[in-house]
Structure 1
Amino acid sequence: MSDILTLVFKTLMSKTGVNSDFRVASSSPTTCGNTLLLGDHSISRSVLLLAAVTAAETGMKVIFFTQTQIQSLPVSLQKCVPNLSPESLKKIKFCYPCKVDELLQQVASLHESINLYPTPSSLIIIDRLDGYLCGPGGGGTCGLYPGEQSLAAHLSALLCDTSAFLTQLLKQRSSSSGPCCFIASFQSEVDLGKSDGEASTTDPILEVLDRYFQVRCTLDRDCSYEAAAAGLQEVWHIYFSGTCITQASCIKDREDRQSIDQEWQLLIFPDGVMEFKLV
């Protein structure tokens, strides 16, 4: 699997000492599974912003949907990407739909942006998808859909259709362009308060989302004594799963299999620097 998240992890892979520079590890991804990022919001947003910045550094145009205003990159991300160019930031467009019906409308109108911008978006990011589906204005309060499961299916199908449409446009304009994909973060209400951090398959909304997202990326905080004794502020385990991973695991070619990295660690140092380590 060679998607934007693994590109992020390889770019900030843990080395001897602390990363002093940000360099994109390789060119923009050629294959990308639509990914659902599961875990605590505080860390998932940082990962999403890293994905947006990394994609922009490779020349991809990114659209980032969130309910919370982003005035500047968090300090931890600024430490990871100290040499981020202003031109790269211009490739990221932040949109702030407050309710799910506004999000649906903005996603549905993405195809209209081709009349204003020469290059279609290559990456669609939705921060805190559960806030749209389960929060005020989501689910049955929207008035258009009878329940949260139907709403989740409708939004996911719209994302699939939109990404397919933009992928076609990208290929028409450049034969070397990769597909347009989307990433969304989600924190299940079923798993709030659990110590293991592992997402549960009993969440009815999550079961719906799994039909549309090819990859599940689960963030699980390591609260062990060993993690604390290592002098780190936080340690997170990152697990990839899903249909895209299963299919890729069947590849016989050794070189291709080396890119299928299913487990990582995220190391967060006391000064906020973030590094990734392949397990």
Structure 2
Amino acid sequence: MTDILKLVFRTFMSQTEGRKELTFTPPSPTTCSTLVVGDGGISRSVLLLAAVTAASETGVRVMFFTQTQIQSLPLCLQKRVPSLSPESLKKIKFSYPRTVEELLQQVASLHESTNTSPTPPSLIIVDRLEGYLCGPGAGSLSGFHPGEESCAAHLSALLCDSAAFLTQLLRQHSPSSAPCRVIASFQSAVDTGRAGGEASATDPTLDVLDRYFQVRCTLDRDGSYEAAAAGLQEVWHIYLSGKGITEASSTKDCEDRPASEWKLFISQDGLMEFKLV
């Protein structure tokens, strides 16, 4: 599932890195879900970059679920909007379910004709899972054990199952279609540490989510003196980990192996740039 994220990172790569050739490598069927863990504001920006990049660079339809209205795009996207095709932006559909029950209902209906015409969505994005998992009704879903972990498992399983079903529909339209992917963000109440994305304390809900999402993309803020001295507003480390990365690393073609660490630089004026570490 790192294909979309890798495309985002390369599209918005630091000028000092030079512009690498933008290529889109279809993911394997077993690496189609990614969980972005870290600060909610930065995670949302990454998800918006993923949505716009997927729609504009690969032409796929995107379904974006979030509880709160999108007030503005990240500055780096605002600068690109005039050059983006209106038709590509129309491929992104935003939906605002308020509770986890509403989210479950909307995800479960993604296969219906109103959502699959002319083609099904190829990317499902869920912004800030913690808002749904901790919100009203999250611990009392009918027919399920109470608790945030049970709700997380139910929602994750539905997202994966819906993506698998939509993949079948996509391949009925075009046998060469890549699978439907899922990207969600989650801000843990527990510090995720700085050791390559490994958690410094156990978050039971995050443990459940990790069972369903093949790749974890961990955002870790760099508070070092060097970051402040560079005149940047923020610097973030981005770590890619999980069984999806392990599977990709075992491929014979080294060029297809996903980079496991990047840096995100946010300038004083809000511009975002990525750099391969």
Return the TM-score normalized by structure 1: 0.89
Rounded to whole Å, the distance in 2 between the matches of 1:9 and 1:115 is: 29
Matched letter for residue 25 of structure 1? L
Verify the 8 A CA contact 1:35 1:213 in the aligned structure 2.
yes
Rounded to whole Å, the distance in 1 between the matches of 2:9 and 2:124 is: 19
Query: Are residue 210 (structure 1) and residue 205 (structure 2) matched?
Result: no
- Equivalent position of 2:272 in the other structure: 274
Query: Shift of residue 66 of structure 1?
Result: 0.2
Query: Shift of residue 71 of structure 1?
Result: 4.2
SS of residue paired to 1:136 = coil
Verify the 8 A CA contact 1:28 1:55 in the aligned structure 2.
no
Rounded to whole Å, the distance in 2 between the matches of 1:113 and 1:209 is: 29
Identity of aligned residues (%): 70
Verify the 8 A CA contact 2:219 2:239 in the aligned structure 1.
yes
Residue by residue over 1:140-176, the C-alpha shift from the partner in whole angstroms, topping out at 9 and shown as x without a partner, is 4x45531111111111111111000000111111122
Structure 2's unaligned 5+ residue stretches are none
- Equivalent position of 1:33 in the other structure: 32
Verify the 8 A CA contact 2:74 2:270 in the aligned structure 1.
no
Return the TM-score normalized by structure 2: 0.90
Query: Shift of residue 116 of structure 1?
Result: 5.8
Structure 1's unaligned 5+ residue stretches are none
Rounded to whole Å, the distance in 2 between the matches of 1:99 and 1:113 is: 24
Rounded to whole Å, the distance in 2 between the matches of 1:265 and 1:3 is: 17
Rounded to whole Å, the distance in 2 between the matches of 1:54 and 1:42 is: 18
SS of residue paired to 1:236 = strand
Rounded to whole Å, the distance in 2 between the matches of 1:201 and 1:191 is: 7
- TM alignment of 1:4-153, pairs within 5 A: 4-16=4-16, 25-27=22-24, 29-31=26-28, 32-57=31-56, 58-79=58-79, 81-113=81-113, 117-140=117-140, 142=141, 145=144, 146-153=146-153
Rounded to whole Å, the distance in 1 between the matches of 2:66 and 2:260 is: 27
Distance 1:65 1:24, change over 3 A: farther
Rounded to whole Å, the distance in 2 between the matches of 1:169 and 1:132 is: 28
Which of 85-94 and 47-56 deviates more? 85-94
Rounded to whole Å, the distance in 2 between the matches of 1:155 and 1:7 is: 27
Query: Shift of residue 75 of structure 1?
Result: 3.2
Query: Shift of residue 83 of structure 1?
Result: 1.8
Rounded to whole Å, the distance in 1 between the matches of 2:22 and 2:175 is: 22
Give me the CA root mean square deviation: 2.5
- Equivalent position of 1:155 in the other structure: 155
SS of residue paired to 2:252 = coil
